[in-house]
Structure 1
Amino acid sequence: MGSVARSVIVNRSRITGLTRDVVAELVVEIGPLWAAQRHRRLSGRPRQRAVGAGAPYKLVFVDRLLATLVHLRHGVTHDVLACWFGVDRSTITRAISEIRPLLAQRGCAVGQDVRLRTLADVVDHLGSSGQSAIIDATEIRVRRPSQGTNGRDRYVSGKSKQNAVKVLVVTDTQGRLLFGGALKPGSCPDITQARDAGLVELLGHHRDLRILADAGYQGLGAQTGGQVITPPHRKFKKNAPLWWEERFAQQRKAHSSRRIRVEHGIAHIKNWRALTRHLGRRELLYELVPAIAGLASIPRQSPPPVAAG
């Protein structure tokens, strides 16, 4: 790939969704990891030539990283990326498969040297810092399993009536992403997903931690001693007093206003088109989701003001 085209991709944040400084940090951070991974792969089998011998890669590491970022941001097919970078399609596929797990291992950045990779890390961080959090689940559309596959219908979401995979998302009260993962088939209820992820047990170690959630998590409040806060229940099914209806509506609106930030965090994830609708293998989502969550957790910088003149 030419230096001019590479410069265009790096300098225009709309292409990768990241600023030039962030891309430079990723190169410095992931470059040594990729080199070590490559060395282990080459030296892990019998060889007739020394490691590193032979023709150099047509696609250098920087271009491999940029191709992966463009693919995640815009969902560009491997064939199109191969044309852009002037290599074969298999080269792009291999490059993305090498870079994607390295991005997934980064976790969500919440400080200079603080990375949250698991739900346990998130709960420990929130408990030690005295912050609150918001949880919610979002669905990613996937292809239907082939006919004759066991459990073919378990990916059908009861909400969207489509084949989907459910992702648990945790943000702070400002909407900054802290976690994205704990994947479950679309038919799994939100509360079951949180329980299977071990949220109840983790909250037991931090009794002062409070988490806001929607009505899909009603029941966790009693199970966690009030640590998970959900909207109020409707006590009157028929002939409710007018004053109670007004109070009920105000309480639900106040709760919704507090937890709306998690929807903003989910929107930042869905801005990466690779998760708008996943057309590849469902197993790849276990790398795609944490990789994109880590990239989306990077603080977004506003463009510098234009000088008047």
Structure 2
Amino acid sequence: MSNVAVTELKSPVKEVASTKKKTKKENSHIRLILFVLPAFIFYILFLLIPTVGAGIYSFTDWNGLNKSYNFVGFSNYIEAFRDDSAFRNSFWFTLKYTIFVFVIQNVVALALALLIETRMKSKGFFRTIFFMPNMISLIISSLMFSFIFTNVFPELSKKAIFSILDQSWIGDPKVSFYSILIVSLWQGIGYMMVIYMAALQGVPKQLKEASMIDGANVFQRLRHVVIPMIMHAITICCFLTLNGAFKVFDVVYALTQGGPGTSTQVMALNIYEEAFSNNFRFGYANAKAMILFLVVLLITLIQVSILKRKEVEA
């Protein structure tokens, strides 16, 4: 009888304890929801709803001003692919810009991170110096370089050793692309470098020492030890670089405004001008924006899936 009494006493205690655990879990879930809810609301209001709205308006002839509009089906998309040579040229220019930025920015950022990691005493100084351009707005950076290209370089070109700077850095279609590239790389390399440096600090020293004992040289250690261990950072940097390059607008608008002519016009600038400068064709501009969205989405999914697979293999 005593054992039965003890069991009867324990069961209510267990029930109370389990109830408390459930209450704590429920409270933690509620707190989590409350923390996430503001960001989720902003995501819905300023990203999800505008994206869905752009998709709907891309099938209309809306001019952005009138309340009335007509559905035109896929005619906007057909016009963009078949008849709009300026949009097609902007796509090829954006693709060229993206390839250059993607390759150069990641290679240089990783090289700088590897180099700075070997300098233990001055690591913080160099990290700060290379990251500082990222703290400046890209518009301001573009205006600064615009002054350099149009005023400083001509003066330097008068010296014999700087004669190579005697170029029309903004007015020449062959050179203006490299002007945009210089500004973008100057502003973005430091940010990627910091991500790579954070990943390099997580590489176990034991692996490096073991590879050195096995006789691996610098390049072998980099290929077989370091790169596999920082593959997650490479995935992040490649993702950020691809997205930023395809959606570039501010540096082109501030530096060349798509000129001379339309030789440096990127897709985002072409969409902007279609909506606000060329007859206010908001429906057609939204169709172009959806094309850009789908292109970025497709390329990003391919890039992330490939690099994620390599992470698993590593």
TM-score, structure 2 as length reference: 0.20
- The structure with the largest alpha-carbon Rg is 2
TM-score, structure 1 as length reference: 0.21
Q: Which has the higher strand share?
A: 1
Structure with more contact order per residue of length (Cα contacts < 8 Å, sep ≥ 6): 2
Q: Which has the higher helix share?
A: 2
